[in-house]
């Protein structure tokens, strides 16, 4: 079965967004890209700092509430509807709940052919990128580096600690359509 969707999971500042941009360049067909950051940005401002929505503490801990989960489920279903309508989609996500996050995607996906990709990066390297970016709460990258992978299964893993985004994208692209 031909891969219709690629889901990248990794912690904050692991390099997922760079890989997504490179994938869009190296894949022969057009792929749409969507990320959890854009999803959070699309949420009403009142839910972006509330216990019912999403809260990011000063030390980088992320907590999500019931309103977040309702909107997340709708977002996932919407992405899958685009795939079912013929679009190829690559997702940049952070599985804050590890295996439970992957299970939420699986529920929405049904029989859609997905390539599950773990994007790893050593905690210290991700933390350094986090500081350099300047747009993240410091501590988030270190907290998420390993936690987002707990209990998650992948078809493929890449490590951006020393590999460039383009090399990772080419590795991923080589697996499209293969079991």
Catalytic residue among 37, 67, 155, 159: 37
Residue 23 · residue 169 · CB < 8 Å: yes
Neighbours of 18 (CB within 10 A): 17
Angle at CA of residue 87, ends 169 and 91, nearest 5°: 45
DSSP-derived 3-state class of residue 101: helix
Rg (CA), the chain: 16
Residue 60: CB partners within 8 Å, gap ≥ 6? Answer: 12, 136, 137, 138, 139, 140, 141, 142, 143, 144
What's the rounded Cα separation, in Å, for the pair 39 and 28?
26
Q: Is-catalytic flag, 159?
A: no
CA nearest to 26, candidates 167, 178, 179, 177: 167
Among all residues, which ones are annotated catalytic?
Answer: 37
């Amino acid at each position: 079965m031909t891969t219709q969707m690629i889901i990248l999971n990794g912690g904050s500042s692991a390099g997922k967004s760079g890989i997504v941009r490179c994938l869009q360049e190296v894949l022969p067909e057009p792929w749409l890209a969507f990320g959890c950051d854009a999803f959070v940005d699309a949420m009403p401002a009142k839910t972006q700092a509330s216990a019912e929505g999403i809260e990011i503490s000063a030390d980088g801990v992320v907590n999500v509430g019931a309103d977040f989960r309702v909107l997340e489920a709708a977002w996932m279903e919407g992405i899958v509807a685009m795939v079912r309508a013929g679009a190829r989609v690559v997702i940049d996500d952070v599985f804050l709940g590890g295996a439970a996050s992957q299970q939420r995607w699986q529920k929405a996906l049904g029989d859609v052919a997905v390539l599950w990709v773990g994007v790893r990066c050593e905690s210290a390297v991700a933390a350094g990128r986090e500081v350099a970016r300047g747009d993240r709460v410091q501590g988030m990258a270190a907290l998420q580096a390993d936690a987002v992978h707990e209990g998650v299964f992948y078809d493929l893993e890449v490590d951006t600690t020393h590999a460039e985004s383009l090399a990772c994208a080419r590795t991923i692209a080589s697996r499209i359509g293969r079991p």
